[in-house]
Amino acid sequence: MPKLDLDALQSEMTAWRRHLHTHPEFGFEEKQTAAFVAGKLREFGLDDVVENIGGTGVVGTLRRGSGNRAIALRADMDALRITEQGEHPYRSQKPGVMHACGHDGHTSMLLGAAKLLAEEGGFDGTVRFLFQPAEEWGRGALAMLDDRLMERFPFDEIYGLHNMPGLAIGQFQTRAGSFMSAEDNFEIVLNGVGGHAAKPHAGHEVLVAACALVMQLQTIVSRRLSPADIAVLSVTELLTDGTRNVLPGTARILGDARSFRPEVSAEIERQMGIIARGTAESYNLTCEMIYTREFVPLVNDAALSLEALAAARAVLSDDNVAIAKEPMTGSEDFARFLEHVPGCFAYVGNGEGSAPLHNPSYDFDDRGLIHGARFHAAIVRHRLHAR
């Protein structure tokens, strides 16, 4: 088959990415995005394109040769509820919603890989292109799986990419084993008796207790877990029903915890309960605690991580491919797919000067699109050898 013009593909992907950036959609609301993706996949001539998987997900299937093995490639499509501060002409046209994590780039890279593989082939077997909704709040992968993804579109292994600010354009990193952490969410509610700010002794106000509790929670990682275990606990919100001259009677403390082993997650929850109940009792208050597990740890398959590194070196050169030195305490619901089949998740550079992820000034660097598309195609050809 003739080779695709990579410069032309880069220009196409840039146009797709900027279109998606201009029209962001929150999780499970990606109707226009999904329609755009499905339309492109049909335009490329894929064998099968199915929409509404897990709500707004799309699965495209491409077959070549007679091989009976299947590989899945996954991209996420959802945006965040953040007001964009960028001034570029393709900035978000939807107030309060923007692609602040680069999912517009991930979607465009996978579309580019679909076009590349559809036109060039070079593999023997089946490729599933998974375009997933609602990654940001950890529900999209589960929704697709609950919609019988594995039964309807079976595959043997899976690969995914995420852009990484601070990593140079064209660079690639992954590692075997633990790669990204679990994320647990918690909410602690302290209840007492509020009242007039001039008479704190007349009730059981909660703000002083809440402040003490926030500080005590910091001892879980520093004093109650083994130093050998990686964990992060962050209080992100403290909300009360008080006002300038009213002592609050209710306080809500919210946040999240990150870890890499279920045993550590369980111990964080146990210690949090001990501290919350003890603090409440010492201030004559009652407390309630809700602790939920939103993301599971992302654990890359050891053998397939080596395969991903080899495929990346084939298209990006040895100098641009590295084994990540340590796992990251961010979370990714790609991990849910890895509970069903082996696979590998990796980072591609978004530039050393890139704004951080989830920042209102963030933007995906279009120069990275071709590198992601070429890796996706390379891992397919590496794992589904053409006869």
* Per-residue pLDDT at 387: 64
Pair of tokens at residue 82: 């953040």
At 211-242, the pLDDT tens digits run: 999 999 999 999 999 999 999 999 999 999 99
Residue from 354, 346, 352 nearest 312 by CA? 346
* Per-residue pLDDT at 2: 76
In the chain, where does the domain assigned CATH 3.40.630.10 lie?
Answer: 6-178+297-383
In the chain, where does the domain assigned CATH 3.30.70.360 lie?
Answer: 182-295
Q: What is the pTM of this model?
A: 0.93
Q: How confident is the model at residue 178 (pLDDT cuts 50, 70, 90)?
A: very high
For residues 302, 304, 305 and 308, what is the CA-based torsion angle, rounded to 10 degrees? 170
Q: Tokens 């890359």, residue? A: 300
Q: Is the pLDDT of residue 386 over 90?
A: no
- SS3 state at 8: helix
Q: DSSP characters for 273-314?
A: HHHHHHHHHHTT-EEEEEEEEEE--EEE-HHHHHHHHHHHHH
Pair of tokens at residue 11: 């220009």
Distance of CA 172 to the CA centre of its chain: 17
Class for domain 182-295, per CATH?
alpha beta
Please give the CATH number for the structural domain made up of 6-178+297-383.
3.40.630.10
Cα–Cα distance for residue pair 297/356, rounded to 1 Å: 22
